[in-house]
Amino acid sequence: MHSPDQTIFALSSGRAPSAIAIIRVSGPQTRLAIERLCGKLPAPRLAQFATLRDLDGSAIDESVALWFPGPHSATGEDVAEFQVHGGRAVIAAMFDALSAIDGLRPAEPGEFTRRAFENGKLDLTEAEGLDDLIHADTDRQRRQALRHLKGLLGAKAESWRQQIIEASALIEAGIDFSDEGDVSAELVAPALRKIAALKSEIEETLAASAQSERLREGLTVAIAGPPNAGKSTLLNRLARREAAIVSPHAGTTRDVIEVHLDLDGYPVTLIDTAGVRDTHDPVEQEGVRRARDRARTSDLVLWLVDANDRNAPTPQSDGDHAPVWIVRNKVDLVAVKGEGAGATGRFDVSASRGDGVPELIAALVIYARDYFGSGEMALVSRARHRTLLRETVAALGRAGRSADKGDELLAEELRIAIHSLGRLTGRVDVEDILDVIFREFCIGK
């Protein structure tokens, strides 16, 4: 990231063309920029109609301009927003006019949000919640992201941090009065009780959030099986569009095709794979290898077989791989329903006509509900959160076990726990992860 002394600008709305485009400016030269383009400074936080002009005085567009003096703004700096017509030429002319002003430059991905974080407008967990909210594909993902944007995890982590600081203060006081044994013991005992209670509370939070990371990533379901079983037809039926090429010739699908679905608010990535068979075609061999890899790493496998083929291979689930559901396709072409149809993990469908597909979808929704659990209500949704909270729990555990080894060692373990929680919210030096986090944001956010 560049110096915060520079003023940045970017398109903060959707891709052009659009009805309205919002161009945001933030930094010390924002006041100059809005005066140059509008001719005068609007009243703070009041929308004003203005004809925007470039530095030569030529009209760019008729706009609504807003002026937010810092620190009472989204980033904590002076901020301006120009609501212009969303044509590509208008946006390009605005960028040219802003670039011509000394001290202004285009923003990098996530730079507005990073400035808000650095100016204390939100903590790191809230910034991550904002990113999750932008990228949420389903309603359940949206609700989980909104909880983080509201700062629920950050507030909880800060409460834990303050309680550890209080316990640490008691320990430090005990060290100061180490020559008075009774005083030291009286101070350490309540600190140890507080440490034990905090450790249990954080462990309970981690246990309750075991499935919340899954909701961010989504459930992966692979459709696998022998060639010409109708895998692509089933994918298209579930996606309700022609996402994959369907052909009567075996081996049509050579690569992995992914489709993202919203099943009752649960995010599901459906994968159509190449037919699994022995082949001498090097391209198809690669497709089969990829199919096996994706099936192995998926959360659920729909193994599709032709209902007319009594010798079709039907693999079984084991502890090392994802659960496998057997789906007999083309049942509209056979007279007798397959044995076991309707049992757990066994389905009869006609992907071409839709017979049995609603029952399969209902089973997938139930599977997703069990898989994600109460993830949307959990506080922890990223591996980073989980790692730092585990480090905190480990430090608190070591602190409790070191009570008889000296107050200095106990105090050091508490400092480690405080540092881990500070890294969670960004209250201590976390420069090594800031670039990674904000680089994932879109430009203009």
Listing DSSP states for 364-390 in one string gives HHHHHHHHHTTGGG-S--SHHHHHHHH
The pair of structure tokens assigned to 347 is 């389905």
Task: Please give the pLDDT value at position 250.
Answer: 45
CB 393 within 8 A of CB 202: yes
What's the first-to-final CA gap in the chain, in angstroms? Answer: 14
275-313 pLDDT, tens digit per residue, is 554 454 555 555 555 656 666 778 888 988 888 877 766
pTM above 0.75, yes or no: no
Q: In Å, what is the CA distance from 225 to each residue of 219, 222, 247, 305, 343? A: 19, 10, 16, 6, 20
Confidence category of residue 68, pLDDT binned at 50, 70, 90: very high
Confidence category of residue 251, pLDDT binned at 50, 70, 90: very low
Percent of the chain, pLDDT > 90? 30
97-156 pLDDT, tens digit per residue, is 999 999 999 999 889 999 999 898 988 888 888 888 888 888 888 888 887 788 788 888
Strand pairing partners for 7? Answer: 104
Q: Residue 300: in which H helix or E strand, if any?
A: strand 300-306
Task: Please give the pLDDT value at position 252.
Answer: 43
137-143: list long-range contacts, CB under 8 Å, 24+ apart.
137/218, 137/260, 137/262, 137/267, 138/262, 138/265, 138/266, 138/267, 139/262, 139/265, 140/215, 140/265, 140/266, 140/267, 140/372, 140/375, 140/376, 141/215, 141/216, 141/267, 141/376, 143/376
What is the mean predicted confidence (pLDDT) over 322-345? Answer: 72
The pair of structure tokens assigned to 120 is 């204390």
Q: How far apart are CA 287 and CA 294, in angstroms?
A: 11
Task: Please give the pLDDT value at position 294.
Answer: 66
**8-state DSSP, 403:** G
Strand pairing partners for 329? Answer: 306
| Cis? peptide before 4, omega within 30° of 0 | no
CB 54 within 8 A of CB 100: yes
CA 57 to chain CA centroid, Å, is 44
Strand pairing partners for 23? Answer: 11, 82
Average pLDDT, the chain: 81
